[in-house]
Structure formats: structure tokens, C-alpha cells
Amino acid sequence: MTVTPGWYMALAAVLFVIGASGLLLRRNALVMFMSVELMLNAANLSFVAAGRELGILDGQVAVFFVMVVAAAEVVVGLAIIVTVFRRRATASVDELSELKG
Amino acid sequence: MVELVLFIIFALAALLGAVTTVWARNPVYSALGLMLTLFSVAVFYVSSGAHFVAAVQVIVYAGAVMTLFLFVIMLVGVDRAEVRRENLPVQRPVALGLLALFGAGVLVAGRFVWVTGPAGGAGLEGTVENVGGELFRRWVLPFELTALLLIIAAVGTIALGLFRRGEEPAEEGEEAP
């Protein structure tokens, strides 16, 4: 019994859904951010699995670029969270409701 | 056989880490769970022959990104318990229903064969040489654009951290606050 790329795809799908649930159900901005990272990693895993199925390296190159974008996103996002925390002393997204109509 | 055993062990570890990330009340536990998942994904990269990507995963994600997360968690503080009250009454059931539907849809779609065409690739291992050659030949323009993206992110972060509201940007040569 060998591990086919489909198994990796299924695992990536489950990880993605868990990450999406964290994004939808949690109210702590930091945990929501970590859920986004989880979803990105699930997508990366499916990239590598598909690239291995086709015998090409494009999947790994795509993963490299996704990692760069994710690193930039984390840096800016965490800076925003720290800035919000300095002004409001909270990390909960429910308390940031100034723009409410 | 080795790959099967590795897959089972680290798939369980990845799922455990992911559930911990979402479920833990303490953000530090969330970060540790996410780290477990990232390491497990790195193991999957190794067993898929993507050695370079696995190294980058451990260094960049499990090293740099998670350190940044832990710093910010310590800065923001973990002493206050998160309020679990939901302001929108339908949010949780609707979200769970949609997620179950989405997960089932993805798993059903995974039963079909989507990747078609001849496996015409050379079947190269993802070593530093091979991935580097690919990056600097076919993808050299996107690669240079990532440098621009990282510079923009760094400048934006410094600007966010340096200037506060109602404060003029520091003059040239003046000591930053």
C-alpha cells in the first residue's frame, strides 16, 4: 500500500477546512491570523503533491512564492495588530467597530 | 512502506496541531499547535522529494514566522480570557454548516482525477540546484518582484511602528521616539 498524491490532497483539504473554521469561529485577531497560515500551508501541501504527480518542479516554485507572500503578509498583519493594540488595548476583532454604519 | 508509516504518524500530528490551533483558549498553545502542523508539513515535503521547500518551511515558517507570532502574543498579552460570546446569533451554525458542506465537497471532488495529461516532467528531485535553476531561469521576473514585495512590507511595517497618531513623522536626523 503506497501513499498516493490523493492522500496528501485529502489531508490538505481537511487542514484547509480546519483553518477556515478557525477564521470564521474565533474572535482573537492573532488566532485568526494563525488560521490563515494554516490555510496557506494546506494549499502549499497540495501544490507539492500535484507537482510530484506530474513530475515537474513548478509546484515547488509556487510554494516558494506563496511562502514569500505569506511572510510579507505576516509582518504587515502583525504590525497592524500591534498598532491596534496600542490604541485600543484589545486583540478582539469584535471590539473594533468604529466603522459600523 | 516507510512513507506510509510516516504519512500516518505525521498526518495525525498535523491534524492534532491544526485542531489545537483553532481550539486552544490560550494563544500560546495555538502557536505551538501551528508549529507542530508546520513541522509535519515539512516532513511531507521531504517525503515528496521537495527538500529545498522543506528546509525553507522549517527556517522561515517554524523559525521566523512563529517567533514573530510568539513575540506579538507576549506583547499583546495572554492574561485576559477571550470573550467567546458571539454577537451575530447565526454566525456559528451557518459557519459550521458551510464548512461541513465545503469539506464534504472538496473530499468528493478529490475522488475524481483532476490532474490529467502525460506525466511529462523529468521527475527531478527538489534539490537546491534544481529549484534554483527553475527559479532563476523561467521565474526570474516573479522572483525579482518578490524582492520588491519584501521591501514594501518592511518599509510599511517600520512606518506603522514608528509613527503614532497625531505625531508628525520624525524629522531627518532627529532621534526617533
Q: Which of 3.30.2130.10, 1.20.120.1200, 3.40.50.2000, 3.30.390.30 is the CATH number of B1-79?
A: 1.20.120.1200
Distance CA A94, CA A5 (A): 40
Q: Do A44 and B41 touch (CB under 8 A)?
A: yes
- DSSP label of A95: G
- The whole-angstrom distance between B172's CA and the closest CA on chain A is 23
Question: C-alpha grid cell for residue A73?
Answer: 503578509
Nearest CA in chain A to B94: A24
Distance CA(B26)–CA(B20), nearest Å, equals 10
Chain A residues close to B107, C-beta within 8 Å: 10, 13-14
All residues of chain B having their beta carbon less than 8 Å from the beta carbon of residue A35 are 21-22
Per residue, what are the HEC states of chain B? CHHHHHHHHHHHHHHHHHHHHHHCCCHHHHHHHHHHHHHHHHHHHHHCCCHHHHHHHHHHHHHHHHHHHHHHHHHHCCCCCCCCCCCCCCHHHHHHHHHHHHHHHHHHHCCCCCCCCCCCCCCCCCCHHHHHHHHHHCCHHHHHHHHHHHHHHHHHHHHHHHCCCCCCCCCCCCCCC
All residues of chain A having their beta carbon less than 8 Å from the beta carbon of residue B91 are 24
Average pLDDT, chain B: 83
8 Å CB contact between A67 and A45: no
Nearest to B157 among A49, A76, A92 (CB): A76
Contacts of A85 in chain B (CB under 8 A): 75-76
How far is it, in rounded angstroms, from Cα A82 to Cα B164?
Answer: 12
**Gap between the Cα atoms of B22 and B15, Å rounded:** 11
CATH 1.20.272.10 fits A29-91, yes or no: no
- Residue identified by cell 518578490 is B146
ipTM value: 0.90
Q: Which among A9, A34, A75 is the nearest to B21, CB-wise?
A: A34
- Block means of pLDDT (10 residues each) for chain B, 177 residues, are 89 95 90 94 92 92 89 79 68 86 81 64 78 90 94 91 64 49
Stated length of chain A: 101
- Output the pTM of the full model: 0.86
Residue A84, C-beta contacts closer than 8 angstroms, at least 6 positions apart: A29, A90, A91, A96
Give the bridge partners for A52, in sequence order.
Answer: none
**Among the partner residues B22, B131, B152, nearest to A22 by beta-carbon distance:** B22
Per-domain residue ranges of chain A: 29-91
Per-residue pLDDT at A60 exceeds 60: yes
User: With an 8 Å Cβ cutoff, are A27 and B11 in contact?
Assistant: no
State the DSSP H helix or E strand holding residue A5, giving kind and residue range, or none if neither: helix A5-25
What are the pLDDT digits (tens) for B8-44?
999 999 999 999 999 888 889 999 999 999 999 999 9
CB contact under 8 A, A56 and B122: yes
Confidence of residue A56 (pLDDT cuts 50, 70, 90): confident
Size of interface A-B (CB pairs under 8 A): 216
The Cα angle at residue B64 between residues B81 and B72, in degrees rounded to 5: 25
**Nearest C-alpha in B relative to A76:** B157
